[in-house]
Amino acid sequence: MAKRLPLWGKLAYGIGAGGFSLIDRIMVSFLLHYYLINPIKGETALVVPLAFGMVMFLGRVVDAVADPLIARWSDNHRGRLGRRIPFMLYSGIFYVAVFIALFYPPVAATSSLNFIYLTLMLGLYFALFTAYVCPYLALLPELARSNKDRVDLSTWKAVFSILGVAVAFVGGGILIDSLGIYGMLWVMGGIGLVMLYIPALFIRERDYAQSEPATLGLRDALNTTFKNRPFLIYLAGNVAFWLGFNIVTLNIAPYVTVLLGGTEGDVAIYFGLVMAVALLCFPLVNIYSKKLGLKTVMLFSMILFALLLPGIYFLGQSVWGLTPRIFGYVLMALMGIPVSAIFVVPDAIVAAVSDLEEKLSGQRREAMYFGAQGFILKLALGLSTLITTGLLQFFGRTPEQALGIRLTGPVATLFIIIGALIFSHYPEKEVIAYQEDSIGP
């Protein structure tokens, strides 16, 4: 019988999430900024906005296709280190190398060469991201078999994810001001690499995860996964939510630098508020996820986002008697409340619905559930980039004409409302009943 993962193991697992959260958040938040808003080389945008959106969408397509392929490979892998750890060991260093290379465009002006380079590098980046993250996520339901342990492990993962994102924004902004963009990239890449390898080197998968390699082919594995009704309902709601939420995260730097008139270093202050509040709320998310259920906490976070995000339209203006800067602080701090739930709840839900797979196929295929989610979710994230760049190009992205940036809040809200309406039908009682029958409390 597999051993129960100790506290140090939970911490080690969580640190890995901090590594890829740090690196990916820098990429998502600063790549658009340094290619379009404040070019990292030269004085003009390195590619036109819609071209950037197209490249990001193509990269997400590569990412989406890689998800089920890596998932099936990991689920069916036979090796002395287990089904997940080998992928994490061999992908980490290449992932960080490509991340840094993304910010070295070949031409210091708008150029088709930059378009080609960005297309190739983003395709590699997303494929390597998937090669690490999909097996990493599949470890969660294997290392923690009860609902309580899964919420705890998801919470530790969320804590380090938030810390990784906080380091990306707070530390990233500070390092840009002191070392420049390239100094920041190399320092952050090194920190991220160390964090990525901690779970891969210190968790002995076979000691804590007791599962046999699956045998289904790719088509059968996908077909069986998409027959899981609770998973489909959760997936549709979550995809709509992330389509909206990613529109907002893509524009964190423009919110501060364009709408609020701050510097790139000021991004650290505003985003630090989000992260600080989210960290403070994690214990509450952990407690109420166990007490009220994952569904209730997830719906609460979606509704609160829908109430807060329209406020982005008014950034840079005096609202309710508050100065623009104070209003920005208040809005960002309040967003930390639902952000805390988003970092904990979704992974625990996927871990729970993946248990139903044993009833459908008689096999444990946790990676395919995260892979199937990734396939759909990353196409949606690519679409969110196209929507964002379209808003910036047609409605403006400068202090003099900033309507495109302002509209991202209301547009994101629409998608999040759709996500909440869909997710409200998630059959949590059905999932819990199966867990209690097959796994135990």
What is the residue extent of each domain of the chain?
7-202+217-438
pLDDT at 218: 65
Q: What fold, for 7-202+217-438?
A: Growth Hormone; Chain: A; (1.20.1250)
* Cα→Cα distances 390→247, 316, 403, 405, 440, Å: 11, 22, 12, 10, 49
Q: Regarding predicted confidence, which is higher, 177 or 182?
A: 182
Band (pLDDT 50/70/90 cuts) for residue 381 is confident
Q: What is the pLDDT of residues 142-163, one digit of tens each?
A: 887 777 778 888 889 988 988 8
Q: Is the dihedral of CA 167, 264, 412, 304 positive or negative?
A: positive
How far is residue 374's CA from residue 358's CA, in Å, rounded to a whole number? 21
- Is the pLDDT score of 437 beyond 60? no
User: Is 428 exposed, middle or buried (CB count within 10 Å of its CB: 0-12, 13-18, 19+)?
Assistant: middle
CB-based contact 13:150 (threshold 8 Å): no
Lowest model confidence (mean pLDDT) among 29-43, 110-124, 184-198: 29-43
Lowest model confidence (mean pLDDT) among 149-153, 304-308, 339-343, 371-375: 371-375
pLDDT at 67: 81
Model pTM score: 0.74
HSE, side-chain direction, 13 A CA sphere, residue 12? 17
